Structure 1
Amino acid sequence: MTLYDIKPQFQNLLRPLVLKLHQRGVTPNQVTLTALAMSVIAGVLLSAFPCPLLFLSLGVFLTVRMALNALDGMLAREFNQQTRTGAILNEVGDILSDVSLYLPFAFLPDVSLWWVILVLFLSCLTEFCAVVSQTLTGQRGNGGPLGKSDRALLFGTTGLGIALWPQYLFIINIVFIIAAPLLVWTCINRCRGAMVAKNV
């Protein structure tokens, strides 16, 4: 069970906006690039000014990013605008956005750079496993327990916590230490799902 399981309900909330974007001629690739640009800018600003209070905005950026990610997929599927370029932008954009939005934690005092790097590497690996699953089965692997949406909730909440209680910055290390094995578990689940589907 992951946040991905409630994606249909989330999409239903966004459907009126999807219709308006389509009517105005907005393409899925434009939405994808907007999400990527916003993530990179936010990551650069948080890295350049690693003030705990500013991390209050991380949850906002992550929520907007998740909404934009849902919108580009809905525009592509529901209005027959799926392209190979869009598929590449979607996968590469997810990885670059993750790195951009989570790397700033490493610039906070008392936070271990190596744990942040490990979690970023494993986050990228989960997306790679998802693509491998899609290559083998025709369906993207979205198993948990720490998929893209779950990571957004975890680190968005962490950003809120350190903004409100900056004296407990050291707890961020615990969050990353817990996240690492959960990401490994996610990779295993996604690969296992692909193997079962192909009867390997």
Structure 2
Amino acid sequence: MASIYLLKPVFQKMLRPVVKLLARAGVTANVVTLTAAALSFTVGACIALWPYATWPMLLLPGFLFLRMALNAIDGMLAREYHQASASGAILNELGDVLSDAVLYLPLALVSVFNAAWMVVIVVLAVITEMAGVVAVQVGSKRRYDGPMGKSDRALVFGVLGLWLGLGGPAGCWIIYLQIAVTVLMVVTIYRRARGALAEAEST
């Protein structure tokens, strides 16, 4: 199934000049990872503190795009500028999971969302990323299968944040959207687990 993640090579090509400038300035991959996590906490805190205001929702689309860029940048710095390390890999994976949690869990406080479904989405987001990581333990590569990986979730909630932030009407369709995201994440977990096992068995 298609995923926004498939566009990553094009995105990386666009970001390469920025990566070169950061490398020359001495910025490390770990600093970029920590910056992304800190900004995620800040945006999530704004949503949690002002759940009835529309302006925090307008932060989501721009920040989620920035976060995708930062995630790509820290990986490029690590691979292309010899900054890869075990601690950096752990920090990157934990940072992604924590960032998802602090960004999306506060949406449970926003009245247009169903709180229970948002909690389910956050839990499944953690499991989805874990399914990608544990693939390495069975002899496979890190899995990024869709259809509802990290980038896909960012697209869905970024567009939704823009819609709501600009005053777009909400309704029961948001709950249906939450259910759809949940179902697609379950499919993603299955595909990542199946893909990991298939790759491990073929080696």
TM over 0.5: yes
Counterpart in the other structure of 2:62: 60
| 8 Å contact from structure 2 (residues 140, 196) kept in 1 | no
| 8 Å contact from structure 2 (residues 61, 161) kept in 1 | yes
Two-structure CA RMSD over aligned residues (Å): 1.4
Structure 1 stretch 56-65 or stretch 129-138: which is displaced more? Answer: 129-138
Q: Against the structure 1 CA distance between its residues 150 and 142, is the aligned structure 2 distance closer, same or farther, given a 3 Å change threshold? A: same
Give the 4+ runs in structure 1 shifted more than 4 A. none
Q: Against the structure 1 CA distance between its residues 110 and 149, is the aligned structure 2 distance closer, same or farther, given a 3 Å change threshold? A: closer
Question: CA deviation digits over 1:17-74, x for unaligned, max 9?
Answer: 1111110111100000000000011101111011234301101110111100000000
Query: Partners in 2 of 1:105 and 1:175 — Cα distance?
Result: 14
Does residue 101 of structure 1 match 2:97?
no
Counterpart in the other structure of 2:35: 34
**Identity score, percent:** 44
Structure 1 stretch 157-166 or stretch 128-137: which is displaced more? Answer: 157-166
Query: Partners in 2 of 1:66 and 1:13 — Cα distance?
Result: 13
TM-score, with structure 1 as normaliser:
0.95
* Deviation at residue 135 of structure 1 after TM alignment: 2.4
Counterpart in the other structure of 1:114: 116
Question: CA deviation digits over 1:138-165, x for unaligned, max 9?
Answer: 4110000001100000010111111223
Gaps of 5+ in 2: none
| 8 Å contact from structure 1 (residues 58, 156) kept in 2 | yes
Query: Which secondary structure state, in structure 1, belongs to the residue aligned with residue 27 of structure 2?
Result: coil
Counterpart in the other structure of 1:129: 131
Query: Partners in 1 of 2:64 and 2:173 — Cα distance?
Result: 21
Written as runs of structure 1 = structure 2, the 5 A alignment for 1:1-200 is 1-50=2-51, 51-199=53-201
* Residue type of the alignment partner of 1:6: L
| 8 Å contact from structure 1 (residues 3, 150) kept in 2 | yes
Query: Which secondary structure state, in structure 1, belongs to the residue aligned with residue 197 of structure 2?
Result: helix
Structure 1 stretch 101-110 or stretch 79-88: which is displaced more? Answer: 101-110
Q: How many residues are treated as equivalent by the alignment?
A: 200
Query: Which secondary structure state, in structure 2, belongs to the residue aligned with residue 141 of structure 1?
Result: coil
Query: Partners in 2 of 1:104 and 1:55 — Cα distance?
Result: 11
* Residue type of the alignment partner of 2:144: N
| 8 Å contact from structure 2 (residues 140, 200) kept in 1 | no
Query: Partners in 1 of 2:49 and 2:174 — Cα distance?
Result: 19
Query: Which secondary structure state, in structure 2, belongs to the residue aligned with residue 198 of structure 1?
Result: helix
Query: Partners in 2 of 1:82 and 1:128 — Cα distance?
Result: 20
Query: Which secondary structure state, in structure 1, belongs to the residue aligned with residue 111 of structure 2?
Result: coil
Query: Partners in 2 of 1:119 and 1:106 — Cα distance?
Result: 10
TM-score, with structure 2 as normaliser:
0.94
